[in-house]
Amino acid sequence: MRNKIINRKIKRLQAQPRIKALKEFKDVKRIAMLFDAADYEQALAFKATLEAMGKVVRCWTFAEVESPEWVYTPQFRFLTRHHLNFCRLPKAYIVDDFKGFPADMLMNLSQSGQEQLEYLAMHSPSDYRVSFNSENAKHYDFVLALAAEQKCFQENAESLLFYLKNLRLK
């Protein structure tokens, strides 16, 4: 029952029209990044790489339970089941916080397809969205297709960054 409700809400969000604005990576200033909690260490390193390029990055992830290795900073938002409503979707104040970050680009680097992160991605006010494999590929402007066995976050993130930096718009 909950899965039907979640899928219906995500599909309703997908149906909403949005403004798309492809940008060259050099023109992107702020990035909202979604990632799997299991990839925390690699996401931390990738965030540092983006910040070294002059980008402002804020990250969100979801895990069922808190991890003692997480370092809480204003740039990282760790969601647990306490941040979810009855339908197991992020509560309204979490969505408002996500929408309140004026990102130029959304990077959905989740490789597991978590509904909670996908729900946040559908709420993104970003006009340029990139992702790894996604069931909702039509909702993104750039999707990097990965093989099923290719789950190395660092390699995939570096590949995505390579393509974004080399993408030229006329």
Quick one: pLDDT band at residue 16, thresholds 50, 70, 90?
A: low
Single out the residue of 27, 22, 4, 108 nearest to residue 61, CA to CA: 108
pLDDT of residue 53: 94
* Residues of the domain holding 90: 2-166
pLDDT tens per residue across span 82-106: 888 888 889 999 999 999 998 999 9
pLDDT tens per residue across span 121-150: 888 888 889 988 666 677 788 888 876 666
Total number of domains in the chain: 1
pLDDT of residue 100: 92
150 vs 23, which has greater pLDDT?
23
Q: Looking at residue 44, which CATH number applies to its domain?
A: 3.90.1640.10
Contacts with 56 (C-beta within 8 Å, 6 or more apart), sequence order: 29, 30, 31
pLDDT of residue 45: 92
pLDDT of residue 60: 93
Which pTM value belongs to this model? 0.85
Quick one: pLDDT band at residue 48, thresholds 50, 70, 90?
A: very high
